[in-house]
């Protein structure tokens, strides 16, 4: 269901993908309706598990937290799609508008982002199946126990990165400020033969100054 809904197979088969792309209040397709039923059933299953296990035992299992996050994302997606449909039906907002002209926080756009995140979490749940595999199960357990060591290593790596960033910033701060001032209001295209300006404002110094400027912000 997730694969069919994510790839929009129904719209591809009916040649209505272009219309669906610019629809600000789309009604759920057959695949999406089946997915809603699946989400409702899964939420009910988690509620029963929470009632039987108790809150403390339920929260002690990490996979239950993953299920909770996945359900929350799916419920938020369904809610936003309902809001988008209600705005078209009850408030008479225009339904078909070029997607490039939509508001950045249009409910359909936000719901698509949440649906993508929910699909990622749902797919990552397949890792749970690895525990029963004689080949992948021990590897998963080993990686899980190595997480603390990996986090310590990244802390040391981050400290080294910050230390070098401070040093490079002390050496190159003038050139970064000078380049930013000279390129502030420069508009150019490569077709106009301004490759030198492009090299100076875009390419030159980018590899060293970008991490430093990011840390300084």
**Gap between the Cα atoms of 162 and 73, Å rounded:** 35
* Main-chain phi, psi angles of 96, to 5 degrees: -105, 110
Task: Note whether 173 and 209 are within 8 A (CB).
Answer: no
With b for 16 or more beta-carbon neighbours within 10 A and e for fewer, the 119-131 pattern comes to bebbeeeeeeeee
pTM of the model: 0.63
pLDDT score at 165: 84
Mean pLDDT (10-residue bins), the chain, 217 residues: 69 68 79 86 90 87 85 91 88 82 85 88 78 74 77 91 86 75 66 63 53 47
pLDDT score at 73: 92
pLDDT score at 217: 47
Burial class (CB in 10 A: 0-12, 13-18, 19+), 81: buried
**Gap between the Cα atoms of 21 and 102, Å rounded:** 11
pLDDT score at 157: 92
pLDDT score at 215: 47
Distance in angstroms between the alpha carbons of the first and the last residue of the chain? 43
């Amino acid at each position: 269901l997730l694969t069919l809904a994510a790839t929009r197979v129904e719209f591809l088969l009916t040649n209505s993908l272009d219309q669906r792309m610019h629809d600000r209040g789309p009604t759920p397709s057959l695949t999406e309706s089946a997915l809603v039923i699946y989400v409702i059933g899964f939420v009910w299953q988690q509620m029963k598990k929470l009632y039987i296990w108790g809150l403390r035992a339920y929260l002690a299992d990490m996979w239950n937290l993953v299920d909770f996050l996945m359900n929350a994302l799916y419920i938020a997606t369904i809610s936003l799609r309902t809001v988008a449909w209600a705005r078209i039906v009850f408030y008479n907002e225009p339904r078909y508008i070029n997607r490039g002209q939509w508001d950045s926080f249009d409910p359909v756009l936000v719901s698509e982002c949440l649906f993508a995140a929910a699909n990622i979490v749902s797919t990552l749940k397949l890792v749970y199946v690895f525990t029963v595999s004689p080949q992948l199960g021990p590897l998963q357990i080993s990686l899980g126990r190595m997480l603390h060591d990996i986090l310590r290593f990244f802390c040391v790596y981050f400290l080294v990165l910050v230390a070098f960033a401070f040093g490079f910033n002390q050496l190159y701060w003038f050139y970064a400020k000078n380049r930013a001032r000279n390129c502030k209001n420069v508009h150019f295209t490569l077709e106009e033969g301004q490759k030198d300006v492009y090299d100076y404002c875009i390419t030159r110094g980018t590899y060293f100054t970008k991490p430093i400027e990011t840390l300084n912000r």
